[in-house]
A and B are shown apart, each in its own frame.
Chain A
């Protein structure tokens, strides 16, 4: 589709893609799927002291239709897993998933009958933030990694 021999289109699309990537990485609308303890650290990370807003991820959207990033915060039990999956399915592309806290990464120390052993068994996860709960600094680090990932991806326009 792209005419690489001409000076115009090839140059233009790549620059456009970069511009979109830049815009997307700084306008992350998160859907905080908060279930448990990690929610406290999410609140800390989102409020004034650590201020996730500096990374353009300050506005949580509680409708999956308006969100780009599903932030799964806290233990996911088998009872809530179908709801999580449904929220994910309702989100529009492009979308990313962040596993916040070790329970969402692997099940953590809840190795028992009621807990999903890592949300990657039900969702594709982009970034894992381990910790029980992760410190706000770790959350910001994960957020920056997500930004780097978004920037490096092929942008679907």
Chain B
């Protein structure tokens, strides 16, 4: 090729060409601009311009209470919002020195892994579609739908779930979830193996991704690239193994590693991680502790009106450990499962609704947590807490000045580092490979630009 197109000997001038890709380009996921310098079809230089989805995450968090920041974290990596939620909550809990219940640990691991599967499904689906494999996209979206239904059942929403709470989770798992989750996992597994058959040995697909977009181990380390990208390059680093958090020290799973660091390895690593995630979820379903449904309910139950009257008269001795019966008007607001998923720490956990309406201590506790400018107040200081996000190490650096609002919530988004090292994966390859490589990175603008 180069021989036929090479300029004839003489003083013919050759110049490289600038090609602007994005931000409005289907393969750029809407929100990144690549300025490429080409020689023929070979990419000489790539510069990524980011910031098209800057939504002022940090500033918004500083202007909201510690709890109100949770919905903002949903929208960081919107493909796996549960992991972001739990990462942020874990950071604040670390700052407060709170230990969450064991059941909550398992719920977080379980739901986090469901989220990881949806993320990998989306990534593989999108990158396969960008290479023309529409069938694989549709199959994987079908699988994602099964998991979205489970997420919706547990959290109440499909995508922006805000399920994590500082000190626990919003609510316990619904009854009979295990069977439905197992069914969904089995169906997902079937779709994954179907796509495995479609893609893994598909000549067209392999030719597009094998030995394309290679990221060497050295480059991955020097750009601090973690997650499936780093692991595909052979870096054995997974926050779940290196710094176990929640219940990850109690589950068994393997960390798949790639050898060449090309797009194909990234694809294989993601496929294997999904299988490992399913394995983790199954272990969690087996091991999740039940715990008492409601410790308070064993106490003395008194109608709330009587309880108030007794307390007003100073007859408080009989009220110790007693619970006010919830009025019919509060039907459904009672959270019988609350105690086993929420820490007992009064600094962050809302009291039982019966106590809120039934006695002054519960009311004050509720008031102090809910009212603006009261709220959760972590002690002065700062901390860093990292979870293994779907794209790599997702770290939260939270700083508190003792007030009800965060002083700073800084995120270490895994995508940001991948974008910094993007040129290493694109330069020297063809223009058409940009799409394949970029798709395999799974750039999520929400966490990249924040």
**Contact residues of A with B, CB < 8 Å?**
33-37, 39-41, 43-44, 47-49, 60, 62, 74-75, 77, 79-80, 83-84, 87, 109-110, 112-115, 132-133, 135
Which chain B residues in 56-97 approach chain A with CB under 8 Å? 56, 59-60, 71, 74-75, 78-79
**Cβ distance B396 to chain A, nearest Cβ, rounded Å:** 19
* B379 beta carbon closer than 8 Å to chain A: no
Complex Cα distance A110/B450, Å?
11
9 closest A-B pairs by CB: A37-B78, A47-B141, A112-B56, A62-B26, A49-B145, A34-B30, A80-B52, A35-B30, A114-B56
Q: List 5 A-B contacts (CB under 8 A).
A: A37-B78, A40-B122, A47-B138, A77-B53, A83-B23
Complex Cα distance A35/B22, Å?
12
Inter-subunit contact B54/A44 (CB<8 Å): no
Complex Cα distance A74/B31, Å?
10
Inter-subunit contact A36/B159 (CB<8 Å): no
Inter-subunit contact B137/A132 (CB<8 Å): no
Inter-subunit contact A35/B148 (CB<8 Å): no
Residues from chain A with a CB closer than 8 A to the CB of B54 are 77, 79, 114
* B446 beta carbon closer than 8 Å to chain A: yes
Inter-subunit contact B55/A75 (CB<8 Å): yes
**Cβ distance B124 to chain A, nearest Cβ, rounded Å:** 13
Q: How large is the interface on B (under 10, 10 to 19, 20 to 34, 35 or more residues)?
A: 35 or more
Residues from chain B with a CB closer than 8 A to the CB of A62 are 25-26
Residues from chain A with a CB closer than 8 A to the CB of B74 are 37
Could you say which of B137, B144, B445 contacts A35, with CB atoms under 8 Å apart?
B445
Inter-subunit contact A110/B60 (CB<8 Å): yes
Could you say which of B51, B53, B142 contacts A36, with CB atoms under 8 Å apart?
B53
Residues from chain B with a CB closer than 8 A to the CB of A80 are 23, 31, 52-53
Inter-subunit contact B158/A135 (CB<8 Å): yes
Render B21-45 as a binary contact track against A, CB cut-off 8 A, 1 for contact. 0011110011100000000000000
Complex Cα distance A33/B53, Å?
13
**Cβ distance B146 to chain A, nearest Cβ, rounded Å:** 9
Residue with the greatest number of chain B CB neighbours at <10 A, chosen from A33, A34, A60, A77: A77
Residue of A at shortest CB range from B77?
A: A37
